[in-house]
Amino acid sequence: MSGPPLAPGTRPVPGYEILGHLARTGWLDVYDAWSEERDCRCVIKVVRPDRRGEEGLAERLLREGRWLRDLCHPHLVRGYDTFASPEPLVVLETLTGETLAHLVHRLRRRPAAADVALLGVQLCSAVHYLHGRGLLHLDLKPSNVVVDRGHAKLLDLSVARPPGPAPAGLGTCCYRAPEQAREGPLTAAADVWGVGVTLYEVACGSVPFDCASSDGTDTGGRHPRAEEGVPPIGSRRRLPAALAAAVDACLRTRPAARPTVAELTAALKGSLPD
């Protein structure tokens, strides 16, 4: 059983004070904290107490922290510090706004087509930057995007890796590309799928298909309709033809049939009003 989160006032490492517990994920605790050096709030991520002994989790967290500390892009969350002891810990910037996952379910009306296209351009910008540094994100989804007044930032490099051979099942059910569900080589096309399925959900309010089987069990992200082809976005919502075509192209089953990030960016920009 997992132990209680760190109490406010705790100093997990010198220079940082816990202000409150924000969330507990499958393997992490996330905290609101204060940075004495920067004189501002920040976010601290640590491995949950009950999972600290599991092989690979500490290095996975520290690897993400090192990447984010060294990367700098306006649509990517910034990393401040990493600490290997006394327990692995990563410090990130505090973001204002809300996740796309929350925004999608809070809005009474679906976002305007121009807002969907602009979001896609911003996500493509972050993905292009990551690819230029030899990384695939592999977990693009609304809960990993924070939006504040129209400005999006991509979070979470915990499953990121270079292109090439990869174990099956990387990413999140309902959002991983068909090739991510199979063991084999991954390319930039997997992130193009992630951008497409995120835009589909933002535009329509839900993902293109149900990832549970008929008996309710998780299919591991592989759904027959994903393998056969995703229903066109036009079957769910009327959008400008150029935008609908761009989203549909991202969700082609064969990775080689999807547009490149540059081609997708151009298509999304072309669907924006003058």
pLDDT, tens digit, 9 for 90 and up, residues 152-211: 999 999 999 999 999 999 999 999 999 999 988 999 999 999 999 999 999 999 998 776
Q: Is residue 221 pLDDT above 80, yes or no?
A: no
Domain covering 98-270 in this structure, CATH number: 1.10.510.10
The residue ranges of every structural domain in the chain are: 16-93, 98-270
Class of domain 16-93: alpha beta
Domains 16-93 and 98-270 share a fold: no
Q: Is residue 217 pLDDT above 50, yes or no?
A: no
Active site residues: 139
What pLDDT does 228 receive? 56
DSSP track, the chain: -PPPPPPTT--SSTTEEEEEEEEE-SSEEEEEEEETTTTEEEEEEEE-GGGTTSTTHHHHHHHHHHHHHH---TTBPPEEEEE-SSS-EEEEE---SEEHHHHHHH-SSPPPHHHHHHHHHHHHHHHHHHHHTT-B-----GGGEEEETTEEEE---TT-B-SEEE-TT-S-TTTS-GGGGSSEEE-THHHHHHHHHHHHHHHHSS-SS--B-TTS-B-TT--HHHHH-PPPGGGT----HHHHHHHHHHT-SSGGGSPPHHHHHHHHHHTS--
Looking at per-residue confidence, does 95 or 216 come out higher? Answer: 95
> 12-67, pLDDT tens digit by residue?
999 999 999 999 988 999 999 999 999 999 999 999 998 888 889 999 999 999 99
